[in-house]
Amino acid sequence: MSGKKRITVAYGDGIGPEIMKATLNILEAAGAPLEYDVITIGEQVYLNGGSTGIEDSSWDTIRKNKVFLKSPITTPQGGGFKSMNVTVRKSLGLYANVRPVKAYHPYVRSHFPDLNLTIIRENEEDLYAGIEHQQTIEVVQTLKLVSRPGIESIVRYAFEYAKANNRKKVTCMTKDNIMKQADGLFSKIFREIAVEYPDIEANHMIIDIGSAKLANNPEMFDVVVTLNLYGDIISDIVAEVAGSVGMGGSSNVGDKVSMFEAIHGSAPDIAGKNIANPSGLLNGAIMMLVHMGMADIAETIENAWLRTLEDGVHTGDIYKQGMSTQRAGTQEFAEAVIARLGQKPEQFDVVTYNKEAKPINVSRRYAPRNIEKELVGIDVFLDWIGEDRDPQVLGDMLKACEGDFFELKIITNRGVKVYPDCLPETFRSDHWRCRYLRKDESKPATLDEILKLMSNINKAGLEFIKTEQLYTFDGVRGYSLGQGE
């Protein structure tokens, strides 16, 4: 036995191989007791016909080693290719994407010298489900799916992270004023869980003003927790205002497996030139060492890295005349860090990690099942243009389909009410949502009743393209109202 821990490593695409080589050189020089299983991911796998960007045999390697250090990859543009990053995060249950961002002013120029925040991004759900359909000639849809267990895990992780890292405030960002179901559930669960952490300040911001504040006043934030897509966008904004996208590392944490990487992509524009900044991946690797219980080595590397920045050894993306002393290539930068192993920064705070800290473990729970779910109606989606897309004509046809059990309540077109009483200005696509509710509200609807309704609609010659059942949960409406309903 070598006493070394075996991890999975992928060199990736673009600048990936250069920054991985630099990072592993530093880990080795610092004495990290690691051995590597190298797997191939990304472009090469895609171009050999693997639509997921990862070979089947690599899954076992990643699952066996449990820790995966990954360089960025290039996802080919165009149809048929699924993002390998998203596939790995979701398939392995890597529910929390942790992205600390800090300003290293004045050595790395930033308008916000005190910027020091962590974005905790939900990593498995939201619009990244990748469930998309073209439903009519004019309309496509992407489904946004979120779950109570998924939201609880990420919100709890954010508070546990704040506690473990001595952070004082957690800000939740959603668009719950518009997406009352999906984002509304996220902010509701955030408020529920926040009360369990009375020592940590909790607040909520709408994502649009939140993003604006992150761009213009990021020093007011400490920990930010948000949904997958918003987290993706705001972490690039924050990385950029901190100084360079080349600096930030990130961890993707699951119950069993965790993956560590840089925030940035494969930067094909500078690939192969030995000019990329390896700091993002190095910071990901430092998070990995802490996760693996090698906090002392993480500390040594991070302090040497800070000292390197202070000494003005800078890659091109952060090079600044008057402040920088050496424009270093990727490998030269790594050598400069190696030369400073054992040294501490003189201007920045010296980094110390709690050596006793255990990885944050949020036990993931399913929702209780003792909730009464009642069917109250159905939304029927139609592909229809009629003579001149007149909602009154469609409404009359659908009224005639009601039968004994249902009543047509409203028709919307891309969410806006067009029946009854369409404003002449309201634009109509070929995609209509027609809402039927049960006439007798004292009883739940049955699937038999719904099938009869659908049969009537079919006999009327109307083309339905999908249906969505309407439920209440413990009497609370489980669907949004149409705009104007």
Residues contributing to the site for ligand NAD (CB under 6 A): 15, 72-75, 85, 245-246, 261, 264-270, 276-277, 280, 317
- CB-CB contact of 146 with 227 (8 Å): yes
Which of the 8 DSSP states describes residue 281? H
- Smallest gap from Cβ 121 to ligand NAD, in A, equals 12
Closest CA relative to residue 303, chosen from 378, 353, 258, 256: 353
Nearer to ligand NAD, 82 or 180 (CB): 82
- Smallest gap from Cβ 303 to ligand NAD, in A, equals 21
- Smallest gap from Cβ 238 to ligand NAD, in A, equals 14
Q: How many residues does the chain have?
A: 485
- Smallest gap from Cβ 315 to ligand NAD, in A, equals 6
Nearer to ligand NAD, 5 or 21 (CB): 21
Closest CA relative to residue 224, chosen from 303, 117, 354: 117
- Smallest gap from Cβ 341 to ligand NAD, in A, equals 21
- CB-CB contact of 308 with 333 (8 Å): yes
Computed on alpha carbons and rounded to an integer, the radius of gyration of the chain in Å comes to 26
- CB-CB contact of 333 with 313 (8 Å): yes
What is the dihedral sign for C-alpha 42, 43, 45, 51? Answer: positive
Nearer to ligand NAD, 152 or 261 (CB): 261
- Smallest gap from Cβ 93 to ligand NAD, in A, equals 18
Scored b (16 or more CB within 10 A) or e, 271-286 reads beebbbbbbbbbbbbb
- Smallest gap from Cβ 399 to ligand NAD, in A, equals 49
- Smallest gap from Cβ 256 to ligand NAD, in A, equals 21
Phi/psi-derived region of residue 343, left when phi > 0, alpha when psi is between -120 and 50, beta in every other case: beta
- CB-CB contact of 204 with 213 (8 Å): no
Nearer to ligand NAD, 70 or 438 (CB): 70
Nearer to ligand NAD, 3 or 78 (CB): 78
Reported as type and span, the H/E element at residue 173 is strand 169-174
Nearer to ligand NAD, 13 or 299 (CB): 13
Nearer to ligand NAD, 268 or 420 (CB): 268
Nearer to ligand NAD, 85 or 171 (CB): 85
CB neighbourhood size of 214 (10 A):
27
Query: Between helices 148-164 and 182-194, what is the axis angle to 10°?
Result: 40
- CB-CB contact of 338 with 332 (8 Å): no
- CB-CB contact of 128 with 86 (8 Å): yes
Q: Terminus-to-terminus CA distance in the chain, angstroms?
A: 69
Of all residues in the shown chain, the one whose CB is closest to ligand NAD is 265
- Smallest gap from Cβ 186 to ligand NAD, in A, equals 23
Question: Pairing relation of β-strands 34-39 and 476-477?
Answer: unpaired
At 118, list the tokens: 């962590």
**Contact partners, residue 6, CB within 8 Å, separation at least 6:** 34, 35, 36, 37, 65
Nearer to ligand NAD, 82 or 364 (CB): 82
Nearer to ligand NAD, 15 or 309 (CB): 15
Nearer to ligand NAD, 34 or 239 (CB): 239
Nearer to ligand NAD, 263 or 378 (CB): 263
- Smallest gap from Cβ 267 to ligand NAD, in A, equals 4
Whole-number Cα distances in Å, 109 to 163, 246, 310, 449: 30, 13, 12, 66
- Smallest gap from Cβ 73 to ligand NAD, in A, equals 5
Reported as type and span, the H/E element at residue 420 is none
- CB-CB contact of 284 with 291 (8 Å): no
- Smallest gap from Cβ 397 to ligand NAD, in A, equals 46
Closest CA relative to residue 248, chosen from 65, 343, 121: 121
